[in-house]
A and B are shown apart, each in its own frame.
Chain A
Amino acid sequence: RKEVEQDPGPFNVPEGATVAFNCTYSNSASQSFFWYRQDCRKEPKLLMSVYSSGNEDGRFTAQLNRASQYISLLIRDSKLSDSATYLCVVRRDAGNMLTFGGGTRLMVKP
């Protein structure tokens, strides 16, 4: 079983839609959680960190459920420019390493 698992998609949604992605992680010792965004043929970039109490950044909301070991990302009012792959990332305290999920591809259509 992969340490960080995501539905690869693609999620095809119309502009203005709300879309949600989930990510599950297997190591209960995981300490920090993030969502990265990767555009086609580009490098990943940090979208947002995920805090225990949940956090929001504009149209993006991230939630963490430690009991069930999953992280979610909600995008409201989708824009064409949101089309990208969203990577779930987990940091374990031991070794301070980041582990990446395989990514979920989002395609927003006009």
Chain B
Amino acid sequence: NAGVTQTPKFQVLKTGQSMTLQCAQDMNHEYMSWYRQDPGMGLRLIHYSVGAGITDQGEVPNGYNVSRSTTEDFPLRLLSAAPSQTSVYFCASRHRAGGTYEQYFGPGTRLTVT
């Protein structure tokens, strides 16, 4: 059981480049989210999805796009990378309602934009 997987683990981009961070989960979770974590700022929600075909903006969505064509995959696209997007990105998933609301995180992608 792989849980939540993310690729790549590390990435360096130049300003203006675009790229996609991949996220997949094999737990049949309805709810998937992308967060960024910066020192002193905690985890901030970028985008989330409550099911295939449904996405919504979180707290800091500007500069990022998402799509959810399947239950398993939730890629995050950086449209035109900026140094302010240097951060650690975590993908997470959980069941939409009920239970403990436990959120499972991927191992993170460390992104540097120069």
Contact = CB atoms under 8 A, between A and B. Distances in A.
Is B a genuine binding partner of A? Answer: yes
Interface string A32-69: 10100000011111100100000000000000000000
A46 B43 CA distance: 14
B100 A43 contact: no
Interface residues of B, number: 23
Interface in A71-103: 87, 91, 96-103
Contacts of A32: 101
Contacts of B35: 100
Contacts of A97: 45, 48, 58
Interface in B83-113: 90, 96-97, 100-103, 105-108
A98 B103 contact: yes
Contacts of B31: 96
B61 to A, nearest CB: 13
A46 B103 CA distance: 7
Contacts of A100: 35, 42-44
Interface string B22-53: 00000000010101000011111100101000
Given A96-B97, A97-B48, A45 B43 contact: no
A44 B41 contact: no
Nearest to B105: A43
A107 B63 CA distance: 36
A110 B29 CA distance: 41
Contact of B102 (A2, A46, A102): A46
B97 A87 contact: no
Nearest to B38: A102
Given A42-B107, A96-B96, A100-B35, 5 more contacts: A4-B42, A42-B108, A49-B101, A87-B43, A99-B45
Interface of B: 31, 33, 35, 40-45, 48, 50, 58, 90, 96-97, 100-103, 105-108
